[in-house]
Chains A and B, each alone.
Chain A
Amino acid sequence: MNEALVRSLTPGVLAVLVRRGADFAAAEDAVQDALVEAVRGWPADPPRDPKGWLVTVAWRKFLDATRADAARRRRETRVGEEPAPGSATAVDDTLQLYFLCAHPSLTPASAVALTLRAVGGLTTRQIARAYLVPEATMAQRISRAKRTVSEVRLDQPGDVATVLRVLYLVFNEGYSGDVDLAAEAIRLTRQLAAVIDHPEVAGLLALMLLHHARRAGRTAQDGSLVPLAAQDRGRWDTASIAEGVEILQAALARDRLGEFQAQAAIAALHADAPTAEETDWVQIVEWYDELTRLTASPVVRLNRAVAVGEADGPRAGLAALAALDASLPRRTAVAAYLHERDGDLAAAARLYAEAAHLAPNLAERDHLTRQAARLNARLEDRAEDRRGDR
């Protein structure tokens, strides 16, 4: 039994229960129970209609839980009879679930956790392991999120931008545990793209595919970071790049540019270059100019300074950098890189060491420390040579 297939049915099944009048939190629990039963029972006895099976089992579990609850609390229940499904289509239901799980009343971390469970069909344990917190903590985070959104009516229109931000977070936050979060984010974004026709959804999907394609080239055998320019482009996944580019081109053709399409366009220009030297930096700078118009993000302006340094030379890059706030994360690392390209190895070595001290994660810190060490060794050699000449 393919677990991914079972999980792909999750939002549809959950939507049916909610449409039948089950409240979201209880329905979500019932669907999880049904998924567990499916993963256990289907390998030996696969159903002919997997979704129908899941709906039946989840609905029964919901009724059992509600009846037990009602008996215990002597609470009135209105779900004894199975109501007829409403008029909404399965497509709309799935979309509404994405909106609900990314609702603006949730913190980003809660929205991520709820999306992975209710839309992605992951277990609390899997989500807890992926984010390196105890299962009990993640269970509480999810149940609080469910309480928060329980007041939200599913038929209210949602904002697709909030959903995209949540999916972007899932994709970008790295990978740990037994679930590949990047692949999961791509799956959920693909599923979203199937139910809503929106150029930014396509843009985010393209962005993810283009970055995921480079994953094998991004780390060396010893786990250290390999910067883009030094990556073995033969290890990039060309099928994933081709798909990303195709999706992006179709989105751009609709002439409703957004942040994710512009970011994907930059990723596509990197992916298209046969060698790092052949990268079309002039066009990349133009895309960063577009991005700067779309967002006020200082990170975009920092990345633009790197692109300017490649397109117009390190001095131009340093000039672009001078306008940016000194406390901006990774600014020192960019300054180190541009100084090295400009031939000022002593300043670059000092800045790399300083950037390593400020690095927000271990992989970057190790990478920056190696850069500083490499330059210090070269400076040492030069000093030796000078002493030898005398």
Chain B
Amino acid sequence: MAKYLLLKHYRGAPASVNDVPMAKWTPEEISAHVGYMNDFAARLEGTGEFVDSQALSPEGTFVRYDGEGRPPVTDGPFAETKDLIAGWMVIDVDSYARAVELAGELSAAPGAGGRPIHEWLELRPFLGEHPTITE
């Protein structure tokens, strides 16, 4: 088994096929989208492949250490930051092929007009455990 992260971007991914901002969907289309995502997660739990799923606020802050005894410096958000993560799902699957298959299904979530968004999702493998026997 291997764990993969499916990353959903607000910004930074190539444009999806059905590229209409969510605010311009009908309420029913939004409900259908949310329902699809929930069903997808529930189905993965049923197959024993679900690990985690979270959505992120688009507004974030950059923070860094500013030296001994000083409070951390905060800055941002930066409108020019190219890559903005919207959320993720973590899956635990038997193969890379299965991870690609599931990412494809998630990308088919319905959007404007009830048609699939064809959104680009970024698939990233986790670094696993170090095996005991390597020689």
A interface with B by C-beta (< 8 Å): 107-110, 113, 131-134, 136-138, 140-142, 144, 171-176, 182, 207, 211-212, 215, 225, 228, 263, 266-267, 270, 303, 306, 330, 359-365
Q: Are A363 and B130 in contact (CB under 8 A)?
A: yes
Most A CB within 10 A of own CB, among B44, B48, B133:
B48
Contact in complex: B129, A361 (CB < 8 Å): yes
A131 and B135 contact, CB distance less than 8 A: no
Shortest A118–chain B CB gap in Å is 16
Are the CB atoms of B50 and A134 closer together than 8 Å?
yes
Do residues A131 and B1 form an inter-chain contact, with CB atoms below 8 A?
yes
Contacts of A212 in B (CB 8 A): 132
Chain A proximity of B78: nearest CB distance (Å): 28
Once the chains bind, are B135 and A176 in contact (CB under 8 Å)? no
Q: Please, which residue of chain A has its CB at the minimum distance from the CB of B135?
A: A303
Contacts of B63 in A (CB 8 A): none
Is B3's beta carbon under 8 Å from chain A? yes
Question: Are A137 and B48 neighbours in the complex by a CB distance under 8 Å?
Answer: yes
* Residues 72-105 of B at the A interface (beta carbon under 8 Å): 92, 94
Given A109-B94, A361-B130, A363-B130, A137 and B3 contact (CB-CB distance below 8 Å)? no
Nearest B-chain residue to A142, judged by Cβ = B48
Residues of A within 8 A of B108 (CB): none
Chain B residues lying within 8 Å of A211, measured Cβ to Cβ, are: 132-133
Sorted nearest first, the 7 A-B pairs with minimum C-beta distance are: A141-B48, A174-B129, A363-B130, A109-B1, A140-B48, A361-B130, A172-B131
In the bound complex, how far is the Cα of B49 from the Cα of A207, in angstroms? 31
CA of A140 to CA of B50, assembled, Å:
10
Contacts of B133 in A (CB 8 A): 171-172, 207, 211, 263, 267
User: A113 to chain B: which residues have CB within 8 Å?
Assistant: 48
Q: Which residues of chain B come closer than 8 Å to A225, judged between CB atoms?
A: 130
B50–A176 CB distance below 8 A: no
A-B contact pairs, 10 of them (CB 8 A): A108-B94, A109-B1, A109-B48, A140-B47, A212-B132, A228-B135, A263-B133, A359-B127, A360-B128, A363-B130
- Write the nearest CB–CB distance from A303 to chain B, whole angstroms: 6
Instruction: Mark each residue of chain B from 43 to 55: 1 if its CB lies under 8 Å from any CB of chain A, else 0.
Output: 0111111111000
- A residues in contact with B135, CB < 8 Å: 228, 266-267, 270, 303, 306
In angstroms, Cα B39 to Cα A61, docked, is 34
Decide if B1 touches A361 in the complex (CB within 8 Å). no
For the A-B complex with A140-B48, A263-B133 known, give 15 more contacts whose Cβ atoms are closer than 8 Å: A109-B92, A131-B1, A131-B92, A132-B92, A134-B45, A138-B48, A142-B48, A172-B132, A215-B132, A225-B130, A266-B135, A361-B131, A363-B130, A364-B130, A365-B127
Asked whether B46 lies within 8 Å of A175 as measured between CB atoms, the reply is: no
Whole-angstrom CA separation of A134 from B51 in the bound complex: 6
Report which of B3, B45, B48, B49 forms a contact with A132, defined as CB distance below 8 A: B3
Whether the pair B132, A171 counts as a contact (CB closer than 8 A) is: yes
Residues of B close to A110: CB separation below 8 A: 48
Contact present for B51 and A360 (CB under 8 Å): no
Name B3's closest neighbour in chain A (CB-CB). A132
Across the interface, do A140 and B131 meet the contact criterion of CB distance under 8 Å? Answer: no
What is the CB-to-nearest-CB distance from B42 to chain A, in angstroms, rounded to a whole number? Answer: 10
Q: How far, in whole Å, are A215 and B131 apart by their CA atoms in the complex?
A: 12
Chain B residues with Cβ below 8 Å from A267 are 133, 135
* CA of A215 to CA of B130, assembled, Å: 12
A173 closest partner in B (C-beta): B129
Contacts of A303 in B (CB 8 A): 135
Q: Closest residue of chain B to A360, judged by CB? A: B128
- In the bound complex, residues from chain A placing their C-beta under 8 Å from that of B129 are 173-176, 361
Chain A residue with the shortest CB-CB distance to B98: A107
Across the interface, B45 reaches (CB within 8 A) one of A137, A142, A174, A270, namely A137
